[in-house]
Amino acid sequence: MNIRDVRSEFPILESKIFLNHAAVSPLPLRAAEAMKKFISDKVKARSTQNVDLEPWRNKILNSKSLFAKLIGAREEEIAYIPNTTFGLNMVAQMLPHKHDSNVVTNTLEYLSNVITWLKLGEKGVKVRFVKDDKGRVSLDMLREMVDDKTIAVAIGQVGWYNGFKHDLKAISEMIHEKGGFLVVDAIQSVGNMKMDVRGDGIDFLSCGTYKWLLGPQGAGFLFIREDLIEEFNPPIVGEKSLDPDIVEKNIYEMFDLYELRYSRGISKYEVVHMDDAAYVGAEESMRLILDFGIENVERKIKEIDDYLIEGLLEMGCELQTPIDELERHAIINFRAKNIDRIMNELTKNGIIVSQRMSGIRVSPHFYNTKDEIDKLLEILKAAKS
């Protein structure tokens, strides 16, 4: 599969330059068509009972397998969740804590990975914030905040507004020495880089599909390290949380539900009804990424990022993104005077980016081109003069 084939999946590219994948990505045609066909079949099945939905169920199940492949996990470690925030909430509420426990996070985090931990303040858990230093948070800065009462370090693997990339392996080693857990918000990293949850020592990872995975909203995945699945139980429950024998008896025989007996395995964390159409679309989108090759995806994004940074520095722009390529990935943010006017000019010329944290955020994916970056730089240069 070449870039031209991939670009043909996105009709928006016929009239726009889309550089906003850190927000909500466009949906590939293959995903949109699969979702429409599935919904049509599902409606017919509800109306006539004459449609076999089993192939669609297999497709939905395969979405777990594809996500597991993208992060280096096993399918049995992946639960369906509706979005990133839901997964972070699940983890935050089920971790063991005492009145004097603390969680360590930082000021580069998106609000989802902050409010879920602040909520624990109602139970006496303290949230410690590492204040970033010019858009960076070093391991030493985190280490100063971590102690024996730290139950978790909560990290967004790639910073949502400036692309700062954390060294997860080093962080996991640090927090595991203290007996705590590493919880990762991965919505800005899965789909744009090769990942290895086992090698990096990640305990929990939550991710929706509508950004770099090019999927629809309503589908997400929660990774729980295999040996932790039975150690914990979900803070809220649904039918799949129950022992299947209990469910069967109470549905087909008689009421006999006087105690809560959990099912075994990852399904006990799947506590809400899933948007099955969204997972049909997500499966197609993830296959697109894997067909191109996640290593190739990461390499192409790095090439585009480097090219963009070089152009911005030549123009004298002030970066909010670290220049060191080991400390950044996928997302570039720069300050600009007259930012509202520049954003208007970019929009008028069909260039889609975002205004974030007093700067302009550019988040290209692997199918973007240097020609598109040249057009962006050309508009910026004209708007600055």
Does the pLDDT at position 242 exceed 90? Answer: yes
108 phi and psi, to 5 degrees? -95, 0
* Residue corresponding to tokens 């204040």: 131
**What is the helix, strand, coil percentage profile of the chain, to 5?**
45, 15, 35
Structure tokens at 255: 């009421």
Mean of pLDDT values over 91-119: 96
Say if strands 354-356 and 359-362 run parallel, antiparallel, or are unpaired: antiparallel
What is the DSSP pairing of strand 126-130 with strand 102-106?
Answer: parallel
Rg (CA), the chain: 22
Residue 282: the pLDDT is 98
384 pLDDT tier (thresholds 50, 70, 90): confident
Residue 385 has pLDDT above 90, yes or no: no
pLDDT value for 360: 98
pLDDT of residue 29: 98
Mean pLDDT of 88-117: 96
Q: Which residues of 309-339 are buried (b: 16+ CB within 10 A; e: fewer)?
A: bebbeeeebebbbbeeeebbbbbbbbebeee
Identify the CA nearest to 128 among candidates 136, 40, 111, 147. 147
Per the prediction, the chain carries an average pLDDT of 97
DSSP conformation class of 235: S
Query: Looking at beta carbons, which pairs linking 76-79 to residues 24 or more positions away fall under 8 Å?
Result: 76/226, 76/265, 76/266, 77/223, 77/224, 77/225, 77/226, 77/229, 77/266, 78/221, 78/222, 78/223, 78/266, 79/221, 79/222, 79/224, 79/266, 79/267, 79/269, 79/270
Question: Does pLDDT of 270 surpass 80?
Answer: yes
Residues 71/223, Cβ–Cβ less than 8 Å: yes
Beta-bridge mates of residue 335: 318
The pLDDT value recorded for residue 71 is 98
Q: What is the pLDDT of residue 99?
A: 86
* CATH 3.40.640.10 boundaries in the chain: 54-236+264-289
In one letter, which amino acid is 320?
Q
Q: Which CATH architecture has domain 3-28+293-384?
A: Alpha-Beta Complex (3.90)
DSSP assignment, residue 29?
H
pLDDT at position 33, please? 98
Q: Environment class of residue 248 by beta-carbon count within 10 Å: exposed (0-12), middle (13-18) or buried (19+)?
A: exposed
pLDDT at 296: 98
Beta-carbon neighbour count of residue 142 at 10 Å?
23
Q: What number is the average pLDDT over the span 59-87?
A: 98
Q: Examine the pLDDT at 40 and tell me if it is beyond 90.
A: yes
**Contact present, 276 and 205 (Cβ < 8 Å):** no
User: Where, residue-wise, is CATH 3.90.1150.10 in the chain?
Assistant: 3-28+293-384
What are phi and psi for residue 281, nearest 5 degrees?
A: -65, -40
Residue 178 has pLDDT above 90, yes or no: yes
* Cα gap 26→239, rounded to integer Å: 34
Left, alpha or beta for 72 (phi > 0: left; psi -120 to 50: alpha)? left
**92-101, 137-146, 169-178, 191-200: which range is least confident on average?**
92-101
Q: What are the tens digits of pLDDT across the range 334-363?
A: 999 899 999 999 999 999 999 999 999 999
Please report which confidence band the pLDDT of residue 128 belongs to, taking 50, 70 and 90 as the band edges: very high
Collapse the DSSP code of 222 into the 3-class scheme (helix H, G, I; strand E, B; otherwise coil) and give the result: strand
Looking at residue 88, its pLDDT comes to 98
* pLDDT value at residue 58: 97
- The class level of CATH for 54-236+264-289 reads alpha beta
Band (pLDDT 50/70/90 cuts) for residue 49 is confident
pLDDT digits (tens, 9 = 90+) for 282-302: 999 999 999 999 999 999 999
Q: Is 268 helix (H, G, I), strand (E, B) or coil?
A: helix
Please answer whether residues 208 and 275 qualify as being in contact, where contact means their C-beta atoms are separated by less than 8 angstroms: no
CA distance 21 to 263: 37
Angle, helices 276-292 vs 294-314, to 10°: value is 80
pLDDT bucket at 1, cuts 50 / 70 / 90: confident
pLDDT tens-digit readout, 305-329? 999 999 999 999 999 999 999 999 9
